[in-house]
Structure 1
Amino acid sequence: MTRLERAEALDGASDKLQAVVSSVVGPRTLRDFLHGTKFGHPLHPVLVQVPLGAFLSAAVLDLIPGMHKAATTLIGVGTASVAPAAIAGWVDWSEMTPDRRRVGLVHAGTNAVAVVLYAGSLVARLTGHAARGRALAYAGLSVAGAGAFLGGHLSYAQGGGISHAAPQVALVPQEWTSVGSLSSLPEGKTAVRDAGGVPVLLYRRGDEVTALIERCSHEAGPLGDGEVIGSGQDACVVCPWHGSTFRLSDGLAVHGPAGNDQPSLPVRVVDGMVSVRRP
């Protein structure tokens, strides 16, 4: 897996595919939908459950006499439901770092082989070649398992699609921790302060202050260097790395590629001093 992450030979194809995906899925509202921004959770892993669940269930039914028709139906459902899951996955992939895109490219290629095997299984079943259909389905399930392993490595070992801000929340002190005076915070602008070693993004509107984890949930970009757009309760900060946009009042993800909201922290102002704590 480490060699795959470092396989720069894949970068040529990866860069070309990234450009294609970016040009095809152009509208920002569509990209936000496919990233899962509007749901507060990446969409791809949710959609993947449909084909995988159908394929695994079909494998069980293929072992039970008299369940051939039901297994065939599930394989048809699974094959048809691959497309939306794959589209959402490609959009997420297009916003990843090169090492993640290398693994993601092989993950997608492996899944494509699995889909071809399942499509062959469906054709064989519908043309009366049940034994061949079962064999192709079990081969497809084996290849899909390898694809799932690669997807798991991409998510859990490489951090693709997870909230990179969430681990920072656990490091914020549980007790109220002073991060400076109210007067030191600029009006209508963001300021970065330290809370127990964790950078926190503060935003002041009059006597009201809100606080977010400063590292972007998408790829841990520095929100403190980001532009503030809008005003009042709807003011947002734009990550300077990939353009993820979060509402400063509560961390809501307004635009992707972030599929998760930005964690916010409780704030209090006492005697002119601003303090934050872990939620």
Structure 2
Amino acid sequence: MSDSLRQAKRPVSPLSGPYGHPLHPILVTVPIGAWVTSLVFDLASRLVHDPAFLTRGSIWLVAIGVVGALAAAVFGFLDLLAIAPGTAAFRTALLHMALNLAVTAGYGAGWAWRALSNHYDQVEAGQIVLSVVCLALLGASGYLGGMLAYRYGVRVADETTQAEGFAVTRRP
């Protein structure tokens, strides 16, 4: 195993989570879940007679997603620091980060747009389109995040450590 690969598997700080168990992947579930659910609320607001509860719920979900994304970004940045510059993994991580920041900015702008809109009417078509575009970019970024973990092994335990989980033990 190369030194740069070994380095990418180790946390640069205790804050980023222990070896083989980084915090960034679990934290990204907050914005992903909030933003997907906000789109469901957006679409549902166009189908019901009184959409106020859905539009208000959606704006809260967008805000929760933005805050969650910013928290996940802190830990993702710590993981980025473990990757050797000039490598394919580093370039992939930079693109992953740039897409996530663009998505978060898009949702931040969407939140401001919604905050200035009437919270009792159905969600506007343009706001829904913005959410769909942001989710598509988030999907592309998630693909890159998967590539970082599953192809390049960033912050994933080495194979010797992984083999411990597959050792067959016999009961006495």
The question of a shared fold, defined as TM-score above 0.5 by the shorter chain, is answered with yes
Which of 27, 31, 42 aligns to 2:22? It is 42
Unaligned runs of 5+ in 1: 1-29, 176-276
Aligned pairs for 1:1-279 within 5 A: 31-33=13-15, 35-37=16-18, 41-65=21-45, 66=51, 67-97=54-84, 98-128=87-117, 130-131=123-124, 132-164=126-158, 165-169=160-164, 174=168
Check whether the contact 1:94–1:101 (CA below 8 A) recurs between aligned residues.
no
Distance 1:171 1:56, change over 3 A: closer
Is the Cα contact below 8 Å between 1:123 and 1:133 reproduced in 2? no
How far 1:171 moved relative to its partner?
A: 7.6
> How far is 1:82 from its partner?
1.4
1:153 offset after TM fit, Å? 1.0
Change (3 A) 1:95 1:122: same
After superposition, what is the alpha-carbon deviation per residue over 1:177-198, rounded to whole angstroms, capped at 9, x for unaligned?
xxxxxxxxxxxxxxxxxxxxxx
SS of the aligned residue for 2:112 comes to helix
Q: Is the 8 A contact 2:79 2:155 kept in 1?
A: yes
How many Å separate the matches in 2 of 1:144 and 1:122? Answer: 17
Q: What percentage of residue pairs aligned between the two structures are identical?
A: 27
Aligned residues: 144
- Residue 59 of structure 1: CA displacement? 1.1
Q: Are the counterparts in 2 of residues 44 and 89 from structure 1 also a CA contact under 8 Å?
A: yes
Offset from partner CA, 1:100-142 (integer Å, 9 cap, x none): 1111000001111111111111111111174232221121111
Aligned alpha-carbon RMSD (Å) = 2.3
- Give the Cα–Cα distance (whole angstroms) in 2 for the partners of residues 55 and 82 of structure 1: 10
Contact 2:38 2:62 survives alignment (8 Å): yes
1:171/1:62 CA distance change after superposition, 3 Å: closer
**TM-superposed deviation, 1:63:** 1.2
SS of match in other structure, 2:75: helix
1:128 aligned counterpart, secondary structure: coil
Q: Distance in 2 between matches of 1:134 and 1:170?
A: 44
In the TM superposition, what is the alpha-carbon distance from 1:170 to its structure 2 partner?
A: 6.3
